Amino acid sequence: MKTLTVSTESSSYPIYIGSGIYAQLPSFLSAAGVGTERKLMLITDSHVSAHFAEKVKKILNDAGYQTGISVVPAGEESKNLTQVEQLIGACLEFGLDRQSVILALGGGVVGDLAGFVAATYMRGIPFIQLPTTLLAHDSSVGGKVGVNHPLGKNYIGAFHQPLMVVFDVNVLSTLPRREVRSGYAEVIKHGLIWDRSFVEWLEKHTEALLALEPEKVEEAIYRGCQVKAAVVSQDEKEEGIRAILNYGHTIGHALEAVSEYRSYAHGEAVAIGMAGAARLSTRVLGSPGELVERTEALLQAFQLPVRYQEHWPENQILQAMKRDKKARQGVYTFVLSARIGEVEIVRGVEETQIREVLREIRGGKE
Ligand SMILES: NC(=O)c1ccc[n+]([C@@H]2O[C@H](COP(=O)([O-])OP(=O)(O)OC[C@H]3O[C@@H](n4cnc5c(N)ncnc54)[C@H](O)[C@@H]3O)[C@@H](O)[C@H]2O)c1
Ligand SMILES: [Zn+2]
C-alpha cells in the first residue's frame, strides 16, 4: 500500500492506494478518530452498487459501524439538486447527525454529488472518498464538490476536503474499457503539467497500465495524486496555480459542450484538448516540436483520440470556449506548456492562433 498526505490551508488528510485495502477501512476510520458510535452513510451509483456496495457495507458493519446505503442512478444526470435533496432526505431518515460520516463510493459523479451533500448536510459533515474510476484519482483529491445546473456543468458547488481518500485498485477490474482509457488522459495530464520523469515512466509502461497490472496502476495513481496534491496544497481555492490542472480542458470542455456531452468521454475530450494545447504552445511560446510529437504519441499509445470529428464547426467551438466559466471578459486564457512537465497560464491568446490549431486537430477519430 502507498500513502500520501494532502496538506491544504483548511485541512490535512491521507490518500491510501493499494490492492484489497477496503478490508482496512475500519482501521483507517479509527486512525482518523471515527469511532463506531458514529453513523455512516454509503452513497454510490447503480453500477458500482452491484459490484462493491454490499461488500464495503459488510466490512464496516462487521467492525461495528452502523452503515446505511443510498444508490443514485449511474451517470452525469444524477449530478443535480433534486438528487441532493433526495440524498439529504435519506440521510435524515437514517438519523445522520453532525458527527456522522458520508462515504462516496464511485467515480467522479458520485464523489462530486456525495461530497456536496456532505458539504451542505447540517452545514457540513465529514466525508470519505472511495474512488472507483481511474479518473476519480483526480476528482477525489482537492475538495471540489458540486452538482450541475441546467445552464451548465458544475455551477453549484463548494470546497469541502474529504477526511481521507481510499483507492482500492481492485475495483478497476470491472471498469468499462472506455472509462479506463479516458481515466488515463487525466493521469497523463498530471505528468505533462508537472513531472517529466512521470511522462517518461508512462511512455515505458503503457502496455502494463492498459492491462491494469496492479503494481503499475498503483504507481500511476500514486504519482498522479502526488501532482494533484502538490498543486492543491499550494492553492486550495483556485486563486492562482490550481488553474494549471485545466491543461487541455479549454478545448476539451468546448468539445464536450458542442457535442452536448454525448460524443466524448471526458478524458477523450481532454486528450484532444491536450493535443491542441501542445500545438498552441509551439505557436505562442515557441515550445520544441518534441512537445507535440510526444504528447500525441503518448495519448495514442493509450488509445485516446487526438483529433476531433470534423463536423463540429470551428465557430461553435470558439463560442463554447468563450462561454466556459474560466474565460474572462472574452479574453482567451490557456494553460500552455514550454516543455514536457511544465506549464504556465497565458492570458490573451489570439483567436487566429486558436483557429489555426483547431484546423490542425480537426479530422477523424484517431
Ligand atoms: N471534483 C473535481 O475536482 C473533479 C475533477 C474532474 C472531474 N470531475 C467530475 O467527475 C465526473 C466524471 O467522473 P467519472 O469519469 O469517474 O464518471 P462516473 O462517475 O460517471 O463513472 C463512469 C461510469 O463508470 C461506472 N463505474 C464507476 N466505477 C466503476 C467500477 N469500478 N466498475 C464498473 N463501473 C464503474 C459509473 O457507474 C459510470 O457509469 C464529472 O462529473 C466531472 O465533472 C470532478
Ligand atoms: Zn478533467
Question: From the CB of 132, is ligand 1 less than 6 Å away?
Answer: yes
Q: Domain end: 125, 158, 174, which one? A: 174
Residues 136, 48: one domain? yes
Ligand nearest to the CA of residue 148, numbered in listed order: 1
**102, part of any domain:** yes
Ligand 1 centroid distance, CA of 74 (Å): 9
79 is in an annotated binding site: no
160 is in an annotated binding site: no
Q: What are the pLDDT digits (tens) for 216-253? A: 999 999 999 999 999 999 999 999 999 999 999 999 99
Residues 68, 190: one domain? no
CATH number at residue 117: 3.40.50.1970
pLDDT of residue 366: 44
Q: What are the residue numbers of the active site?
A: 123, 144, 186, 228, 238, 242, 246, 249, 253, 266
Question: From the CB of 142, is ligand 1 less than 6 Å away?
Answer: yes
Residues 122, 181: one domain? no
Ligand 1 atom having least distance to the Cα of 51: 32
Residues 101, 214: one domain? no
DSSP letters spanning 19-69:
TTGGGGHHHHHHHTT--TTS-EEEEEEHHHIIIIIHHHHHHHHHTT--EEE
Residues 76, 92: one domain? yes
Pocket test for ligand 1, best of 135, 184, 256 (most atoms within 8 A of CB): 135
pLDDT of residue 331: 77
Residues 316, 218: one domain? yes
**212, part of any domain:** yes
CATH number at residue 222: 1.20.1090.10
**365, part of any domain:** no
Residues 91, 12: one domain? yes
Cα–Cα dist 118/140, whole Å: 14
207 is in an annotated binding site: no
Residues 77, 131: one domain? yes
Cα–Cα dist 278/272, whole Å: 10
Question: From the CB of 80, is ligand 1 less than 6 Å away?
Answer: no
**44, part of any domain:** yes
**265, part of any domain:** yes
260 by DSSP, 3-state: which? coil
Residues 250, 349: one domain? yes
Ligand 2 centroid distance, CA of 139 (Å): 8
109 is in an annotated binding site: yes
Question: From the CB of 270, is ligand 1 less than 6 Å away?
Answer: no
Q: Domain end: 117, 150, 174, which one? A: 174
Q: 36: domain range?
A: 2-174
Residues 182, 145: one domain? no
Instruction: Report angle CA 124, 253, 192 to the nearest 5 degrees.
Output: 90
Cα–Cα dist 153/257, whole Å: 9
Question: From the CB of 273, is ligand 1 less than 6 Å away?
Answer: no
Ligand 1 atom having least distance to the Cα of 112: 1
Residues 104, 181: one domain? no
Q: List per-residue pLDDT tens for the chain, 366 residues long.
A: 999 999 999 899 999 999 999 999 999 999 999 999 999 999 999 999 999 999 999 999 999 999 999 999 999 999 999 999 999 999 999 999 999 999 999 999 999 999 999 999 999 999 999 999 999 999 999 999 999 999 888 999 999 999 999 999 999 999 999 999 999 999 999 999 999 999 999 999 999 999 999 999 999 999 999 999 999 999 999 999 999 999 999 999 999 999 988 899 999 999 999 999 999 999 999 999 999 999 999 999 999 999 998 888 899 999 998 877 555 666 799 999 999 999 999 998 999 999 999 999 998 644
**366, part of any domain:** no
Ligand 1 centroid distance, CA of 169 (Å): 15
- The total domain count for the chain is 2
DSSP letters spanning 127-187:
EEEEE-SSTHHHHTSS-EEEEEETTEEEEEEEE---SEEEEEGGGGGGS-HHHHHHHHHHH
146: left (phi over 0), alpha (psi -120 to 50) or beta: left
Q: Domain end: 174, 196, 223, which one? A: 174
Ligand 1 centroid distance, CA of 139 (Å): 8
Ligand nearest to the CA of residue 154, numbered in listed order: 1
Residues 68, 114: one domain? yes
